[in-house]
A = this chain, B = another copy of it.
Amino acid sequence: MTEMTETASGWLSPEELESLRGRMPILYVDAVPVRVDDTGTVTHVGLLLRIAPDGTVSRALVSGRVLYHERVRDALLRHLEKDLGPVALPNLPPSPAPFTVAEYFPTPGVTPYHDPRQHAVSLAFIVPVRGDCRPRQDALDLVWFTPEEAASPMVQQEMTGGHGVLLKQALAHVGRLP
């Protein structure tokens, strides 16, 4: 999960946030962007192509931190707009309940999710998007995969920190796990 401009919020300096990451769980959201047909069936899953600080290339879901005094669904919309651009037209789910909760631990192996920087607890949502996606910021590209491609070993091994498992859980939730 890549952190961006949350210091712009003014509530926590980068140093303060850094200090907290090792002392309390940080609340995140993960979004799985999908294309659906007229009946709501998921036809494609969108993955971001990212370059991590250490230069390695990976595919990732949309994710980011929930800020102080920000509703979860506002955080979800903010991160979707940040990563997919302003005309993606995401259909946020009407229910506040995530389809799963991904617990990223700094210690590998406690859960399927891992984030060496922090203990992050992420509410994960599946979000149909209807418009054009134009990745911004540190995302190089957004590629749409069929469910079969998304669950394939080739795509799975390009995802890190447990995003591959989270993606398969999303496919299972919508009845499209191959």
Contacts and interface: CB of A to CB of B under 8 A. Distances in A.
27 contacts: A11-B24, A12-B23, A27-B27, A36-B92, A39-B76, A39-B77, A39-B92, A40-B93, A42-B94, A68-B119, A69-B105, A69-B106, A69-B110, A71-B103, A71-B111, A91-B91, A93-B93, A94-B126, A95-B99, A95-B126, A95-B174, A96-B100, A96-B174, A97-B99, A97-B100, A98-B98, A111-B175
Between A68, A77, A126, the greatest number of chain B beta carbons within 10 A of the residue's beta carbon is seen for A68
Chain A, interface size category, equals 35 or more
A101 interface: yes
Nearest to A32: B94
